Amino acid sequence: MNPAEAKTIANLLIEGIEREYETTKKVVAAVPQNQLDFKLGEKGRTMRELTWHLIASEAWFAEGVANGDFSHAESPMPANATTADMVAFYGKELPGKIARVKQLSGEQLLKIINFFGVMQVPNFSLIGFWNNHAIHHRGQLAAYLRAVNAHVPSIYGGSADEPFQMPATA
């Protein structure tokens, strides 16, 4: 693969990240403040912990791809983070970090990254892993929302709370 091909693939993956970002913002904003300590099962995280992991890990992935290095720690969750705090963090952190990733050269995107000894892959491929990781945890969060009878936004189509409607022009 050459640098131009890596850049093209990265651009396509980033377009996906940007689409998912908008959906994730809706899901995070739907987290009820009075349910942040809800935990689904003994092995589950609290809704606050899960929400924080979702948004902080996205920032961590973006920073790692931008730097070509994942040795930095995920941002620690502030004590008693509120839903508003988490929405604000996500809105403040992600757009700038995504912009940094978009500026990477094809050569930077082709750099082989040793991802914790689990895999050695070109940097651009970690954008796809970042997206899959975020979608996975957002799905968990949507299940938590349903479990507490909270509003579940439309994600890939309608939900019981936001049914799919065909556009008037269809």
- Locate the domains of the chain by residue range: 3-147
Secondary structure (3-state) at 26: helix
pTM of the model: 0.93
Q: What is the pLDDT of residue 167?
A: 79
Position of tokens 């895999």?
A: 119
* Residues 77-92 pLDDT 10s: 999 999 999 999 999 9
Q: Assign domain 3-147 one CATH number from 1.20.120.450, 1.10.150.120, 2.30.110.10, 3.30.1330.50.
A: 1.20.120.450
> Rounded to the nearest 10 degrees, what angle do helices 83-102 and 47-67 cross at?
20
Q: What is the pLDDT of residue 12?
A: 97
* Residues 133-163 pLDDT 10s: 999 999 999 999 999 999 999 999 889 888 8
- In single-letter form, the type of residue at position 144 comes to Y
Largest Cα–Cα distance of the chain, in whole Å? Answer: 51
